[in-house]
Structure 1
Amino acid sequence: MSTDPAIPAARASHPLSLKLVLIVPYVILVIALAVAVGTLSYSAGSRAVYTVSEHLLLETVGRIAQAVDRHIIGSGAVLESAFPDGMPAPTAIESEFHDLRTRFWIATSLHIDPNNYVYYGNEAGQGLGLYRHSLQDAELRMKLKSDEHRAIYRFSGIDGPLQFERRETKLFDPRTRPWYQDGKRVTGHTWTSVYIDFGTRELVATRARRVLAASGAFEGVVATDVSLRALNDFVGRLEVSPNGIAFIIEQDGNLIASSASPNMASLPDGGSARLKAADSDHTLLRAAYRLVQDRLGAPEATALPRVMTFSDEAGQEIHVAFDRIRDTAGIDWITVVAMPTSDFMAGVTENVTRTVMLAAVAVALAIVIGLRILGWVAGDLRRISEAVRRVGAGDFDVPVGVDRSDEIGQLARSFEAMQTQLRTDKLTGLANREAFLQQLNKRIDLARKDRRNARLAVLFIDLNRFKAINDTYGHDAGDLALQEVAERLRINVRGGDLVARYAGDEFVILLDQVASREAVVHIRRQIEEVLCQPLQVITPEGQEGVGTGGAIGQAIFPEDGDNANDLLKAADRAMYEHKFAGRKSSLTGS
């Protein structure tokens, strides 16, 4: 029997290692798993980051709109106070000088920031303006003849004596100014186009309204300025992203405010001129402007605000959000926020690249460490995902429980910051209504399980004179008053108690582990005394402090209610009984 010696020799020269058979597929599996994890992480991360970036863009656009609204909201009331609708204009400023000066002082008191300047010009070329430097100090800018230069007077108080300061070197004729010409042309309120101010050389928007004589003929224009410097500073301070920008433009493309470039151009003669977005030296600003300009002409342009994605000249992907700001007097501005995708995808890309490279270079190490890291990461992601799910179900107080310093840790901290915002009243920094109800329900559940510490109480507080403060001193003062009341309540409760702003000028307090009804009454009276103290934020100089006080109702668990809704209703009823009892007492003199 013959054999072929070549066959076993060939088999012997290529031995198949069992170890290799087991390791190679496993290594390939680990690499494939690493690649898969990297791909999935990149995909999930990019989707999440895209969503977050979209919300960030929309939120930033909204913040800009709020800033604009804060600058222009009071201008209409200022004009009506200076020249009430229907009041005829005097034929000469000097004939009603004292009345004009008084009304202008009152008008500039409504919204001293930013509407601290009211002025009037007439067909005779006369002009009168009142500029408030502070609550007490002001200057009067006046010219009674068309060919004379304006005189500047300083004074303090509504009827303080005028002290001549200087006379302007440049001739100011109100009839030639844009605000006068626009006010003369339009029958109602109107905004001028943004222009460079005659004196400050800064961008200004002016709201103007024509004033008629007793005969019904046009006599002059009353106006108030809104300086856009503060708005430009606000936009400039916005932190969109490392390379992100924000800007505001008019319909003609002129820049109003920008975080990326100046809003005015310097001329060779030393003067200044408006700068168009299309002429900006910032590449991203020009590209974002072109996109917005094209989209505003599309049929779907009414569905604003919008977020869009495009590629710039260098092929870089850019996300842009834009909105339109309009009012009845003619403002039509566009707010734009743009940032490159690379700004917020860099962390995700670096993390995936690092994972794949480590898997390729150190497969053996990745087998041991990679699986542990995967489990660690997956566990944290599951915790974040579970927290997201529970927040979506309305539980804002769920802890994330992720303590890391990498991107996932940043995501967890960002999520926790979002939870804090959802639980917090933005004006006062206290817990909001939803957070209070959640905490009250949790505390009631604990009290039902542990009867030894079952007693808790709710105080319902309604401020007494808050509307009068708003009406007298303005909404800004009202906001400051709410903040001061909130701080007083916060520092005058125990460490385990919870203070929340319930709605408007209503506050609630959860008193934990109260000993008795008498203890609750004692705490309530302490808080009543605290609320009666004068408010520091609106104490006029030389006058007695303004106080608010409040009606407080109390309810104790479980005597007055065995659930959150019943407790709040009981405390609310008690509060109204307290309020009406106080009113009745003050009326009867008892």
Structure 2
Amino acid sequence: MSKPSAPLSLKLVLIVPYVVLVIALAVAVGSLSYSAGNRAVSTVSEHLLLETVGRIAQAVDRHIVGSGAVLESAFPDGMAAPEKIESDFHELRTRFWIATSLHIDPNNYVYYGNESGQGLGLYRHSLQDAELRMKINADEHRAIYRFTGIDGPLNFERRETKLFDPRSRPWYQDGKRVTGHTWTSVYIDFGTRELLATRARRVLSSAGAFEGVVATDISLRALNDFVGRLKVSPNGIAFIIEQDGNLIASSASPNIRELPDGSSARLKARESSHPLLRSAYRLVQERLATPDATSLPRVLTFVTEEGEEIHVAFDRIQDKAGLNWITVVAMPTSDFMSGVTENATRTVMLAAAAVVIAIVIGLRILGWVAGDLRRIGEAVRKVGEGELDAPVGVARNDEIGALARSFEAMQTRLRTDKLTGLANRDAFMQKLNKRVELARSDRRAAKLGVLFIDLNRFKQINDQYGHDAGDLALQEIAERLRTNVRGGDLVARYAGDEFVILLDQVASREAVGHIRRQIEEVLRQPLCCIEAESTVEISVGGAIGEALYPDDGLDAQSLLKSADRAMYVHKFADRAERGDAPA
């Protein structure tokens, strides 16, 4: 004989499932919290990356935006260059001073060279102090003058030891080759060992021939400082590169390297000592080689060889002068994930307590809420089956009540013609079908009738006064029909300029005919919504066909077809009486 199993406590039976449920819900909430935190981190990091890329683009734009205006101030577009600098020296000096005053930082140097080998440059040391660099003869060395103020006297300072020929410089050759503005490649300034970019533009003679090139230098030191100060994340980086991969600015490494002989050279991104910069550059180069490289800015994610997930955003900066730089921002996912795990643990603990309370309260209100939700769901099902006027029957002041009211408003919109405010075709057909079913099931029910209305001269109004006037005419006709039918009748817009009326409880065909004639008289009245010229009154009129149940049809479709045929009979009869040609 087997031993009976140990009795189970009723309290244990009731409590254990709920304890398991609470723990399961707490774990689920914690997992969801971690997952949501992970997704939130991805979203936030993506927005941060795009915002940082945008900030860099704005900084670049602010840095270079004035260069075009500087050149235009030095040599306005269309102004002919003098054959000799000395013949127009004072005007050139004045314009160069004004040009360097526009954006003294960074556009503090404007210079010009011509085909004769002459050169003139104005370098601003400050708002008042400036330096003039000039050579009149091609074979002489450039002379340096210092002066103060726009018209201050020139004080000779020195003459350069190395012969400077503007015609051999890259900025001159690029400006000569290109018809508009052009940028030189970024290069290292010999004196300051900082990166510079030069914007140049050719200048023509009075005869339209090439005469020389005007240019301005832009120091990229401030741009590099701006990128260097960007705080993307604890381990995030930002950098700007040229198409060939040379660094322009970086927050993670220098943009210039020193050679063994003491000279300086550009540093390429792939040669950087920063591993994240190298990895991000490789990814960007691969993506720029794909067919969809024009869809920028973009955010990408990749995993390093060490298994670390990295988010990268990049964009291209271009202008009409040929500037083509690439901005890149990269950061590890771990920079944002440090607090997600701790937050998930706290969430599990709080969720466990909240679930216990929610179970107690939820069981009490669940039945109340579920009943109303079931009623709303039933109404939704009926609407899906075509019953547009299915009642919801929920009266609450909370969100469920708002949902019920919103659904009822949606039902109203589904039943209503947007232009006229009348019932639409679907609502009319549903009402007609119900009324026919009622009449079919109850032989004692009063007869019903259908009027089918087609406006006669609506197309003429559209053609003569425009579609806006046609819409106003339809609205006025709809209002007339609405106010000239009985309380139990239904007026609907069927299609275009066609209307239908469901006549409820009509005694005979004569009663239907009487109502039809009343409607015809209403339609013949002049329209008030159209301001006609002089004293001309505009009216549309309409042909109306009628059908009576069950004499003209035993279902909704047959009644409508019968009314439609009768409408055309009246329409052709009216045309024959007026002598109108068929439309």
Q: In the alignment, does 2:230 pair up with 1:202? A: no
Structure 1 residue 223: Cα displacement: 0.0
Aligned mates of 1:105, 1:114 — CA distance in 2: 14
1:368 positional shift: 5.8
Instruction: State the one-letter code of the partner of 1:189.
Output: H
**Whole-Å Cα distance in 2 between the matches of residues 96 and 112 of structure 1?**
24
Which residue number corresponds to residue 40 of structure 1?
Answer: 32
Among 284, 287, 291, the residue aligned to 2:276: 284
Q: Is this contact kept in 1: 2:243–2:325, CA < 8 A?
A: yes
2:186 is equivalent to residue 190 of structure 1: no
Distance 1:240 1:371 in 2: 42
User: Which AA in structure 2 matches 1:113?
Assistant: D
Distance 1:369 1:40, change over 3 A: closer
Match of 1:139 among 105, 108, 131: 131
Is the deviation greater in 302-311 or in 17-26?
A: 17-26
CA distance in 1, matches of 2:22, 2:310: 35
1:50 paired residue among 11, 23, 42: 42
Q: Does 1:129 align with 2:121?
A: yes
1:544-555 matches, within 5 Å, as: none
Partner of 2:156: 164
1:144 Cα deviation after fit = 3.1
Cα separation, 1, equivalents of 2:14 and 2:341: 32
Q: Taking structure 1 as reference, are residues 191 and 167 closer, same or farther at Cα in structure 2, changes over 3 Å only?
A: same
1:7 aligns with 2:3: yes
Distance 1:148 1:15, change over 3 A: farther
- Counterpart of 2:276 in structure 1: which amino acid? L
Offset of residue 15 of structure 1? 7.3
Find out whether 1:67 has 2:36 as its counterpart: no
Instruction: Give per-residue Cα distances to partners, 1:289-348, cap 9 Å, x unaligned.
Output: 122212222222222111122222222211111111111111111111111111122221
1:329 maps to which of 321, 329, 332: 321
CA deviation after TM superposition for structure 1 residue 349, in Å: 2.6
Deviation of 1:220 (Å): 2.0
1:177 aligns with 2:169: yes
Correspondences of 1:67-466 after superposition (within 5 Å): 67-353=59-345
For residues 374 and 151 of structure 1, the distance between their equivalents in structure 2, rounded to whole angstroms, comes to 90
Paired with 1:169 and 1:371, the residues of 2 have a C-alpha distance of: 89
Q: How many angstroms apart in 1 are the aligned matches of 2:23 and 2:142?
A: 81
SS of match in other structure, 2:82: coil
Counterpart Cα distance in 1 of 2:359 and 2:334: 25
- The one-letter code matched in structure 2 to 1:79 is L
CA 1:273 to 1:28, structure 2 compared with 1: closer, same or farther past 3 Å? same
Shift, 1:166, TM fit: 3.8
Aligned-partner residue type, residue 93 of structure 2:
R
CA deviations over 1:447-490 (Å, ceiling 9, x no partner) = xxxxxxxxxxxxxxxxxxxxxxxxxxxxxxxxxxxxxxxxxxxx
1:69 deviation in Å?
1.0
Q: For each residue in 1:45-64, what CA deviation from the matched residue of structure 2 results, as whole angstroms up to 9, or x when unmatched?
A: 22223222222111111111
- The offset of 1:149, in angstroms, is 4.1
CA distance in 2, matches of 1:258, 1:98: 42
SS at match of 2:180: coil
C-alpha displacement of 1:182: 0.8
Work out the CA distance in 1 between the residues paired with 2:339 and 2:158: 60
**Residue aligned with 1:74, SS:** helix
Distance 1:16 1:279 in 2: 73
Residues 367, 213 of structure 1: CA spacing in aligned structure 2 closer, same or farther, 3 A cutoff?
closer
Q: Could you tell me which residue of structure 2 aligns to residue 582 of structure 1?
A: none
In structure 2, the CA distance between the partners of 1:216 and 1:230, relative to structure 1 (3 Å rule), is same
Q: CA deviation at 1:215?
A: 4.4
Q: C-alpha deviations, 1:212-241, integer Å up to 9, x for none?
A: 334444332110111111111111111111
Select between 229-238 and 29-38 the one with higher mean Cα deviation.
Answer: 29-38
- Contact preservation (8 Å) 2:123, 2:130: yes
Which is higher, the Rg of structure 1 or of structure 2? Answer: 2
- Which letter does structure 1 place at the counterpart of 2:337? M
Three-state SS of the structure 1 residue aligned to 2:254 is coil
- Cα drift, residue 372 of structure 1: 8.5
Q: Could you give the per-residue CA deviations for residues 117-146 of structure 1, whole angstroms, max 9, x where no partner exists?
A: 101122343321111223322221223344
Deviations along 1:267-292, whole A, 9 cap, x unmatched? 11111111111221211111211222
Q: Relative to 1, partners in 2 of residues 1:374 and 1:186: Cα closer, same or farther, differing over 3 Å?
A: farther
2:203 match: secondary structure = strand
Distance 1:108 1:117 in 2: 6
1:27-62 Cα distance to aligned partner (Å, 9 max, x none): 543432332111111122222232222221111111
- Change in Cα spacing, 1:341 to 1:367, as seen in structure 2 (3 Å) is closer
Amino acid at match of 1:7: K
In structure 2, distance between residues paired with 1:60 and 1:102:
40
- State the alpha-carbon separation in 2 of the partners of residues 164 and 16 from structure 1: 110
For residues 228 and 110 of structure 1, what CA distance do their matches in structure 2 show? 18
Distance (Å, rounded) in 2 between the aligned partners of 1:23 and 1:140 = 93
Query: Relative to 1, partners in 2 of residues 1:371 and 1:169: Cα closer, same or farther, differing over 3 Å?
Result: farther
Kept in 1: contact 2:25–2:351 (CA 8 A): no
CA distance in 1, matches of 2:51, 2:128: 38
For residues 215 and 153 of structure 2, what CA distance do their matches in structure 1 show?
A: 24
Identity of aligned residues (%): 82
Unaligned runs of 5+ in 1: 360-364, 376-590
Aligned-pair Cα RMSD in Å: 2.8
**Structure-to-structure mapping, 1:520-539, within 5 angstroms:** none
List per-residue Cα deviations over 1:519-551 (Å, max 9, x = no partner): xxxxxxxxxxxxxxxxxxxxxxxxxxxxxxxxx
Whether the 8 Å CA contact 2:176–2:202 is kept in 1: the answer is yes
What is the alpha-carbon distance in structure 2 between the residues aligned to residue 191 and residue 316 of structure 1?
39
Q: Secondary structure at the match of 1:63?
A: helix
Judging changes above 3 Å, is the alpha-carbon distance between structure 1 residues 366 and 65 closer, same or farther for their aligned structure 2 residues? Answer: closer
CA distance in 2, matches of 1:119, 1:37: 68
State the Cα distance separating 1:155 from its structure 2 match: 1.5
2:180 alignment partner AA? G
> What is the rounded CA distance, in whole Å, between the counterparts of 1:23 and 1:372 in structure 2?
14
Q: CA 1:205/1:366 → structure 2, altered by over 3 Å: closer, same or farther?
A: closer
Give 1:96 shift. 2.3
* Structure 1: distance between partners of 2:141 and 2:25: 82
Equivalences, count: 360
